[in-house]
């Protein structure tokens, strides 16, 4: 998959699962459970032990998945993740060096941003999407709606505090997609290897996002 197809696929699905778990084994289980549930995208965060090895294994064994690296805060780590096979990079905040590194290497990048100034800077630097984080603490769906007025053409990913109860609100407010952590990758479900539990959650999120997009298009 090239950069354009990866960017298009992320926008089509509209959900970026954040894999932040206490072990590499848990992370592998979670990624495959979510992927087999209809969300072939995963952001493996660098806070997960053995994260780069997880990315490498998934890139080798599951080339059908769009596996990215999350919580990237420097270009050294970004380079190691790309070498391991990461297809996109995300960060909790805006670091122009990381964005420029991604652009130079022709890889999709989703930098985090909080303020309108950060969103403008990230977009001008070459971001494919701008991840508004931590969204729930900034005003939730209302903040996304406010941002879409001055930035109608910037694809925003709402991240931080997205749940089953509010995911539709973020989409209706204009978010191109959402980043979801423990509300999709339930830690207890992972610990107990309850794949059906995760499949149920994934199905609910997918259905809700699709329904909200349909309502927004009306």
Residues serving a catalytic function are 43, 131
Give the Cα separation of 10 and 179 in Å (integer).
11
Instruction: Report how far residue 38's alpha carbon sits from residue 15's, in angstroms, rounded to the nearest whole number.
Output: 10
Q: In whole angstroms, what is the distance from residue 36 CA to residue 192 CA?
A: 17
Helix (H/G/I), strand (E/B), else coil: 111 = coil
**Measured between alpha carbons, how far is 154 from 131 in angstroms, rounded to an integer?**
10
| Residue indicated by tokens 């952590």 | 181
d(CA 61, CA 146): 42
């Amino acid at each position: 998959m090239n950069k354009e197809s990866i960017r298009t696929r992320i926008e089509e699905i509209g959900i970026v699962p954040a894999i932040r778990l206490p072990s590499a084994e848990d992370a592998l289980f979670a990624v495959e459970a979510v992927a087999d549930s209809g969300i072939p995208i995963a952001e493996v965060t660098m806070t997960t032990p053995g994260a780069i090895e997880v990315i490498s294994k998934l890139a080798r064994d599951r080339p059908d998945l769009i596996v990215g690296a999350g919580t990237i805060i420097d270009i050294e780590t970004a380079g190691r993740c790309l070498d391991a096979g990461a297809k996109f990079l995300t960060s909790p905040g805006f670091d122009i060096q990381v964005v420029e590194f991604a652009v130079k290497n022709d890889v999709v990048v989703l930098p985090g941003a909080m303020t309108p100034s950060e969103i403008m800077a990230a977009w001008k630097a070459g971001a494919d999407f701008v991840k508004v984080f931590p969204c729930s603490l900034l005003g939730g769906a209302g903040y996304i709606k406010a941002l879409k007025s001055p930035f109608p053409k910037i694809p925003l990913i709402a991240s931080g505090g997205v749940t089953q109860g509010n995911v539709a609100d973020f989409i209706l407010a204009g978010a191109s997609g959402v980043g979801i952590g423990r509300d999709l990758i339930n830690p207890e479900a992972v610990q107990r290897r309850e794949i059906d539990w995760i499949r149920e959650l994934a199905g609910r999120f997918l259905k809700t996002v699709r329904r909200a997009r349909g309502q927004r298009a009306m």
